Chains A and B, each alone.
Chain A
Amino acid sequence: MVLRKFATMSKSRGIAPYFYIGPVMAILTILMIYPMCMIIKLALYNNYYVVSKPVWVGLKNFIDFSRNEIFWVSLKNTVIFTVFSVFFHMIVGIAFAVLLNQPLNEIALTFFRSILILPWIFTAAIVAINWQLLLDPLGIINFILGKLGMLTSPVEWFGDYFLAMPTLIFVSIWRGYPFVMISILAGLQGIPINTYEAAKIDGADAWQIFCYVTLPQLKPILLSVGLLDTIWTFRLFPLIWLTTGGGPGRATEVLSTYTYKLAFVRFEFSKASALGTIILIFVMVFTFFYLKHQKPV
């Protein structure tokens, strides 16, 4: 009864809600809708902003990329970086979350949880310096691997053409798993205890319980987390820029670093805009699946 009255009251104030959401929608229109129209327009002209009279070239900037080797290398690197990063974020995140969900002392668990989130909270510039310190040819990791007999001479992890990408992925795994871990932990804590009890009575062992009871219950969260992480990793810029800068050569060049170079090193705004639009299209495809799965609010 009360609720029904409330609903009619809300509806009778036809324009009131627009006053509440107005400022936010205005700001987002200026900061999102307008720039997206602008970047598509820029991409359809020839070298906008730098030359005084831009010329309409249609889809030429996009078509040019299909014959551009650096574009294909960057796309390949972006896919490799994203697939491996997200896959291992999920594996490590799930494993650590399961560990933190064991029935142990509360204070100890809080302590371990805090340590395990740490890599996530630092800004990329700090993560980059941290790992350059550790991976320096004279640094601790080369030293330990040398002592263990796994290396005969120190390695330039970020500077080696073949090692740069695996190294970068490793740092990205270290930095990115806590988001997955914390989300999964929240999911695990939402599973009722008696679900496990029932499986135990039926004689399932720990691994079977995990595969047939825990994982299916976590499926919705795993999907959301996986898709969000894919979006974030696909568009990642700072960590790559500050560790390898896309190098050596183009070994770790991804779409975002290539876009940045096109725009702010070579001042080819139209080409950069076309590439920015391509990244946007990829991300919107992932977003479509995320929305389809999440059904927001």
Chain B
Amino acid sequence: MSSDKKKILTYGALIIVSVFSGFPIMWMFLMSTRPVVEIFVVPPRIIPQRFTVGEYIKILSSSKYMRFFFNSYVVGLSATLISVITAIFAGYGFSRFKFSGSKFATLLIVITQMVPPITLLIPYFIMITVLQLYDTYGGLIITYLSFSLPYAVLMLTAYFNTIPRELDEAALIDGASRSRALWSVVLPSALPGIVSVTVYTFLLAWNEFLFALALTRSYSMRTVPVGIALEQGEHTTQWNTMLSMAILGSIPVLIIFIFAQRYFISGLTFGAVKE
């Protein structure tokens, strides 16, 4: 087979598999920009008779819906911030020191990463209720640390390990303190790793569903994924509202994905691919 022919076949195959992956999402987007009566017409139309972004405007100007976004940002950003900052210290500790218990602590963190959220949910529900954090941001932020923190620590430790120790060694010889060496020498070199961790941790939090569902109750405390699911349960016929909400709810994720794909991918493959 000539190499040209092989190339054309490969492109053909890529186009077909792209339809498999991309068509459902494109269809959701197309359907969100038409009146609800046009969504299930037979035969289905790719181009609507009437194009409208009315549902988007309705959602963007409704404080009820925008509250979901606000909540998701508050919870996602707080959990990410706490995770990344504490994980920088822990990652530095694991990467730069030999101490007794180091191996055991690392093992413990890897194991905690695997614990099923559904297993944690029942004790969390009781703890959060006892602490009077049920239906609050605090309750969600704390429980979100259970998946964001182990991930952030392991990934940052791995990243710090790739930065030569001679760097902080040189700073220490120059009379800098440990924490000074961390902040002014190691952190700047670790910036790409820190961005990856931040991006991926935020996405995990933004997409979380189970804790947000079970640990909040009032409408004003719901996050975007739970808000979408509730919308689905309440107004089964309001397809265009649900679809527009789904598109708007994925915008932060899409922006990160488009503009920081490199970081997104290194966050995604961590754990499976050994550097």
Contacts and interface: CB of A to CB of B under 8 A. Distances in A.
B116 A279 contact: yes
A109 to B, nearest CB: 8
A17 B93 contact: yes
Interface string B219-262: 00000111011001000000100110010011001100110010
Contacts of B14: 99-100, 108, 112
Nearest to A179: B268
Interface residues of B, number: 101
Chief secondary structure at chain A's binding surface: helix
B123 A24 contact: no
B21 A38 contact: no
Contacts of A276: 116, 118-119, 121-122
A235 interface: yes
How many A residues touch the partner, as a band?
35 or more
Interface string A154-172: 0000000000000000000
A207 interface: no
Nearest to A239: B209
Interface stretch (A65-73, A191-199, A257-265): A257-265
B11 interface: yes
A22 B106 CA distance: 13
Contact of B22 (A27, A115, A179, A264): A115
B146 A99 contact: no
A125 B115 contact: no
Contacts of B257: 114, 117, 121
Contacts of A23: 86, 89-90
Interface string B189-221: 000000000000001001101100010000000
Given A25-B105, A174-B21, A259 B118 contact: yes
A256 B120 CA distance: 11
B111 interface: yes
Contacts of A115: 18, 21-22
Interface string A266-282: 00010011001101100
Contacts of B114: 231, 283-284, 286-287, 290
A32 B150 CA distance: 10
A17 B97 contact: yes
B118 A296 contact: no
A183 B273 contact: yes
Given A129-B232, A132-B232, A280-B119, 8 more contacts: A17-B97, A20-B97, A116-B18, A129-B228, A224-B271, A237-B117, A242-B232, A297-B154
23 contacts: A16-B178, A20-B94, A24-B87, A32-B120, A32-B146, A35-B123, A35-B124, A38-B126, A116-B18, A126-B225, A126-B228, A129-B243, A130-B27, A132-B232, A138-B40, A179-B268, A187-B273, A224-B272, A235-B118, A263-B125, A269-B122, A276-B119, A297-B94
Interface of A: 2-3, 5-7, 9-11, 13-14, 16-21, 23-25, 27-28, 31-32, 34-36, 38-39, 42, 49, 96, 99-100, 102, 104, 108, 112, 114-126, 128-134, 136, 138-140, 143, 174, 178-179, 182-183, 186-187, 220-221, 224-225, 228, 231, 234-235, 237-238, 241-242, 255-256, 259-260, 263-264, 269, 272-273, 276-277, 279-280, 283-284, 286-287, 290-291, 294, 296-297
